[in-house]
Amino acid sequence: MRRLMGIIAVVLLIGIVVIVLFAPPFERRPPRIELAHVGKFLGASTRLTVRLADRPAGLKRVSVLLKQGKREWGLCSRTFPTGVYEARVSVTVKPKAMGVKEGHAALVITACDRSLWHLRKGNTRTVRFPFTVDFTPPTVQILNSTRAIYETGAGAVLFATSKDAVKARVQVGGLSFKAYPKKEGDRVLWAALFGVPPHAIGASLVVEDQAGNRRVLALPFHLLHRRLVRKTIVVTDAFIQQKIRPLLPPESRRLPPVQAFKAVNEKLRRENEGFISSVASRSSGDPQWRGAFIQMRRSKVTATFWDQRTYLYRGKVVSHSIHLGYDLASVAHAPVPAANSGRVIFAGFVGIYGNVILIDHGLGLVSLYAHLSRMNVRPGEEVEKGEVIGYTDSTGLANGDHLHFGIFLSGHPVNPLEWWDKRWLRGRIASIILPYIRECHVQDHRS
C-alpha cells in the first residue's frame, strides 16, 4: 500500500513538472522584437515602428528607451491586456528637441510576456539597436540655374552639397525631377534637368542626407508664356473600325462606338503613358548627348507639344486629350534617326503609341519614337546620333504614316522643340551644367 502511494506521488510529481515545463501558461520563450526601420541613422524626426510577437502566453509589457552614454530617455512604455499576441508600437524620435547629442546612441527595447515562468514574472527579452544621431541637414549651394523657362519647356540646375547628401530632386508642383551626383573633392556636385508645366508657380530644390534630414531651397526662375494650340478632331466610324477596335482587348471589341473610342483614347492612353513614364524615369547619370537633337529630315510638323485636342463624333464632344510630343510627317516608311547618342532602354509595342523606341541620353533625359514599323535596335544597345533606328508607320492610334517624337525628363514629357534648338540648348542647359559635364568626362578618363 505505501509503495503504491509512493509510486502515485512520484507520477504526480513528474506530471506537475511536465505541466510546468511544457504547458502553455509556463512557456519559456521571450517575445520576438523587430524594428521596422531602414538605415542606421536617427534624423531630426524619425518614426520607428517596433513589431512584437509572443505565443502562446501573449504580450504583457514593452518599453522603448534611447540611451547615449550614461543618459537615457524613455520613448514609450505600454502594458497590453491579456490575449494580445502581436503588436506594433510606433514612436517618433526627435533627438534635438530631447537634448540628445549628435553621434552614437542606442535604442533599447524590452518586452516581456504573460508566461507564469520566473515566478509569474514571465520571459523578458531586451534588444539594443545602435544608431547614429544626425539632425543637421546637408549644406547646399546653388551654383547656376536656368533663369528664363518657357511653359512646357525645360531648365537645368547645378548645385554643390556637403558629402553627407545622398539624394536630391527638383520639385515643380507635383512633379519630381531627379538630380544626379558626382563626387568632387570634399563636396558633391549635382546636376538636374527639370520640366515646367503650363502655369507652374515656382520650383524647389530638395536635398536629403542618410538620416532623412532635408534642406529645401527655392529655385527661382522667370516663367515665359507659350501659346498653346487647341484642336478639334472629327472621329469617323471608319476610324473607330480600323484604328480603335483592334486596340481593344477581345472582351471589349463589341462596345458601342463612343465607349470604344473613350476606352482607347482615355483608359488605354493613361495606361500607355504611365508605362512610358515609368520606363523613361530609369535614366543613368552621365549625359551622353552631344549638341542639339536631330529632327527627322525633310519632315513637316503636323502636331505640336501640349496641343489640347477635343474629339467630335457625329457633332458631339466625346473626349479630350493632350498631345505629349511632336508629330513629324515625311514619306511613308521614312528612316528615323536617333535624335542623339545614348542607350536604347525600350523597343516594343505600347498600345496607342504602336511600336516604340526609347533612348536614354543620361541625366534623366530620354527620347521617344512612336508609331514605327520596323525597329533596328534592341534594349541595351548603344546608338550614335543620326543612326537609323527604325522606320515610320501608323502603328497604334495614328491617322497616317508619321513619327511621334517625344522628350522626357525623369519620366515627365517636355517640349521637344527646345532640344532641336542649338542656341537654346547651349544657353539654357549646357552652359548651366558645364562643370558637371566636365567632371563626368574627367571620371570617364580615370576609369
Instruction: Pick from 327, 360, 401, 418 the residue near Zn ion by CB under 5 A.
Output: 327
| Cβ proximity to Zn ion, 262 vs 404, nearer residue | 404
In whole angstroms, the minimum distance from the beta carbon of 413 to Zn ion comes to 11
Determine whether 13 is exposed, middle or buried from the number of CB atoms within 10 Å of its CB (0-12, 13-18, 19+).
exposed
* Nearer Cβ to Zn ion (212/354): 354
Name which of 113 and 327 has its Cβ closer to Zn ion. 327
Which residues touch 208 (CB under 8 Å, ≥6 apart)?
A: 137, 138, 165, 166, 167, 168, 214, 215
85, 105 contact by CB (below 8 A): no
Of 29-37, 73-81, 100-108, 322-330, the segment contacting Zn ion by CB under 5 A is: 322-330
Closest to Zn ion by CB, 221 or 408: 408
CA atoms within 13 A on the CB side of 344: 22
Site string for Zn ion, 267-286 (x = CB under 5 A): --------------------
Q: What would you measure as the largest C-alpha separation in the chain, in angstroms?
A: 116
**Residue with the shortest CB distance to Zn ion:** 404
Question: Which segment (41-49, 190-198, 324-332, 355-363) binds Zn ion by CB under 5 A?
Answer: 324-332
Which uninterrupted H or E stretch holds 62?
strand 59-68
Nearer to Zn ion, 213 or 392 (CB): 392
Cis peptide before 181 (omega within 30 of 0): no
**What is the closest distance, in whole angstroms, from the C-beta atom of residue 397 to Zn ion in the complex?**
9
Which residue in the set 404, 406, 413, 428 belongs to the binding site for Zn ion (CB under 5 A)? Answer: 404
271: nearest Cα among 261, 260, 263: 263
Size of the site for Zn ion (CB under 5 A): 2
Cβ nearer to Zn ion, comparing 215 with 323: 323
Residue among 214, 217, 223 nearest 205 (CA):
217
Kindly state the smallest distance separating residue 161's Cβ from Zn ion, in Å. 39
Q: Min. distance of Cβ 311 from Zn ion in angstroms?
A: 14
Q: What is the x/- site pattern for Zn ion, positions 139-178, by CB under 5 A?
A: ----------------------------------------
Tell me the C-alpha distance between 399 and 6, whole Å. Answer: 101
Task: Kindly state the helix (H) or strand (E) to which residue 270 belongs, with its residue range.
Answer: helix 269-280
- The residue written with cell numbers 537633337 in the block is 293
Using CB under 5 A as the binding rule, the residues of this chain from 173 to 232 that contact Zn ion are: none
Peptide bond connecting 56 to the previous residue in cis, omega within 30 degrees of 0: yes
Among the listed ranges 95-103, 218-226, 358-366, 403-411, the one in contact with Zn ion (CB under 5 A) is 403-411
What's the DSSP call for residue 393? B
Closest to Zn ion by CB, 140 vs 403, is 403
**Residues 119, 62: Cα–Cα separation, whole Å:** 19
Nearer to Zn ion, 160 or 264 (CB): 264
Binding segment for Zn ion (CB under 5 A), chosen from 96-104, 213-221, 263-271, 321-329, is 321-329
Say if strands 365-375 and 382-383 run parallel, antiparallel, or are unpaired: unpaired
* Min dist. Cβ of residue 329 to Zn ion (A): 10
Four-point Cα dihedral 245, 247, 249, 255, nearest 10: -30
Nearer to Zn ion, 404 or 428 (CB): 404
Alpha-carbon span 334 to 344, nearest angstrom = 20
Q: Which window, 3-11, 129-137, 183-191, 326-334, contacts Zn ion (CB under 5 A)?
A: 326-334
Q: Which residues bind to Zn ion, rule: CB under 5 A?
A: 327, 404
